[in-house]
Structure 1
Amino acid sequence: MDKKGPDKKERLLAALEQGMVMIHLDARRPGVLVPQHLRDEPHLRLNLSYRFDPPDLSVSEWGVRSTLSFSGTRFTIAVPWSALFAIASHVTKELFWMYPDDMPAELLQQTQVTTKVSTQEVLPPPAPEARPRAVLREVPGEKEAEPPEGPPDDPPAPRRGHLRLVK
């Protein structure tokens, strides 16, 4: 087991105790067992939980094994610690660990990782593009019949406007 294996194992187990966890892995690494159509993925994300059916999730000194569902078909995956480069908790958003030494080169270039003397710092990704905001406008309702001639007995009730979302 690599030197980061125990740290990854402890952190994964702690996150699993909280609930569902997403692991980030390089599916091309030796020892990784995933469905054929995912084997060339440099950044594969898998959700793990003790509550998944069947509940066969095991975290060992070697890595992680579990039966997961891929497009409705069950498949037993195997992920050695050397292939896992990030752990994120779905429950507590602040639980997120990265292991830049195990990240694929393609991702290191994308995330702009800068190396310092004793630590590695991951810079935030660029801001997402500005998307147009939805605009709400009032849409006239059905026309009412002409008011009767003469003085009204009661003032008419105010009409409610109708809003429609325009994208």
Structure 2
Amino acid sequence: MTSESRVFAFFSRYALYLAWVVSIVAVGGSLYLSEIMKFVPCNLCWYQRIFMYPIVILLGIASYGNDRKIIKYVLPLSIIGGTISLYHYLEQQIPALAKMLPCTVGVPCSEDYLDWFGGYVTIPFLALIAFVLISALLINGRKHEDVSVDDEEDEAEFESAVN
């Protein structure tokens, strides 16, 4: 087994757990920024939270029971949340987008609390990274589920042929 396939196998085997850890960090960061740092979330931030917060609970339960069937339910949440994060990030980086759909109540969505590395790493960018990581891990975990089912069938065929 090559080192590349070992890494792939590791991330496939522990995909649920790793995606759960990513979601915990994302939710923890979100709560830290709003409750401790007192950053008021904008409308798009709330939508991202709506899609991230259930992922923690669903992946936590699935990780405990190693239930990969949950992937088909969590993956759409992650993809939709990532799409919202991408739009939010683009709205912060491209001022013309903020004028197309302005936030009329509360904090403007183009407001930038964090501007690490010259403004390229913002809160929506961090959320986007979390959603992309979760999606990639879950897609990888689905592939592991298919492989493990095939391996079990091959083992059963081998044992029946031997006996």
Larger radius of gyration: 1
TM-score (norm 2): 0.22
Higher strand share: 1
| Greater length-normalized contact order (CA 8 Å, ≥ 6 residues apart) | 2
- Structure with the largest fraction of helix: 2
Q: Give me the TM-score of the superposition, normalised by structure 1.
A: 0.22
